[in-house]
């Protein structure tokens, strides 16, 4: 009986497969790095300044991967393991910003409030000008949420921030060219205005 000849198979036989493999390898390395960085910060092996800079850079790279892998891996969170990288990349901010680690005085606090007001007004103006595409709304919403984390006068359970975060998460599931519907724009504008009014009330009491 003649031996069965097996068909020779080549691993990563074409350019597209190699590119896909490289993408997954880089994504795996990025998630692993975030995991190690979070653990280093929690154990005080990395100081706040170095942690924040490194984490912000990794989050930016993750967002780039998320855009390029959207058709291949619709839910990148299923690609992850462990709570540290999943939470950090989902939130989109370093822990120092999320938990408002403040090394600032009164002057810096006033600057943070002014920045938040600036981003609130910018977000509302953008929507009023009928700029409703994901790549128009998402960046300004990100800047607004990030600025709110830097305001020490805000309570940890500030509902306006959580509401804006839900809108940001919704936008992250869209393609860059996708637009919010008219009723969504109206609701988002209402939510931003409500968050702004609550924000000003809280700042006025502090």
pLDDT 10s digits, 149-178: 888 888 888 999 999 999 998 998 888 889
Q: What SS3 class is residue 146?
A: helix
Reduce the DSSP state of residue 94 to 3 states and report it: coil
**pLDDT per residue rounded down to tens, the chain (206 residues):** 555 555 444 555 677 777 777 777 888 888 889 989 988 998 989 888 889 889 888 888 887 777 666 666 655 656 665 556 777 887 777 888 777 644 555 566 788 889 999 999 999 999 999 999 999 999 999 999 989 988 888 888 899 999 999 999 899 888 888 999 999 999 999 999 999 999 999 988 76
**Residue-range domain boundaries for the chain:** 15-96, 103-205
DSSP codes, 40-86:
HHHTTSS-HHHHHHHHHHHHHHHHHHHHHTTTT-S-GGGG--SHHHH
Q: Model-level pTM greater than 0.85?
A: no
Question: What CATH number does the domain located at 103-205 have?
Answer: 1.20.120.1130
In sequence order, the 6+-apart residues with CB closer than 8 A to the CB of 86 are 77, 80
């Amino acid at each position: 009986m003649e031996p069965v000849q097996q068909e020779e198979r080549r691993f990563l036989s074409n350019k597209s497969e190699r590119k896909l493999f490289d993408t997954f390898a880089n994504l795996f390395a990025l998630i692993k790095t975030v995991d190690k960085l979070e653990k280093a910060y929690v154990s005080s092996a990395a100081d706040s300044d170095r942690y924040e800079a490194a984490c912000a850079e990794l989050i930016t790279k993750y967002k780039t991967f998320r855009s390029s892998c959207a058709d291949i891996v619709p839910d990148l969170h299923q690609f992850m393991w462990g709570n540290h990288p999943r939470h950090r990349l989902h939130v989109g901010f370093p822990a120092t910003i999320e938990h408002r680690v403040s090394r600032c005085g009164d002057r810096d606090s006033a600057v943070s409030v002014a920045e938040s007001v600036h981003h609130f007004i910018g977000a509302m103006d953008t929507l009023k000008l009928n700029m409703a595409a994901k790549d128009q709304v998402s960046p300004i919403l990100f800047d607004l949420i990030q600025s709110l984390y830097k305001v020490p006068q805000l309570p940890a359970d500030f509902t306006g921030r959580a509401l804006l975060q839900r809108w940001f998460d919704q936008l992250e599931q869209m393609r860059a060219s996708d637009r919010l519907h008219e009723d969504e724009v109206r609701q988002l504008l209402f939510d931003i205005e409500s968050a702004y009014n609550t924000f000003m009330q809280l700042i006025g009491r502090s």
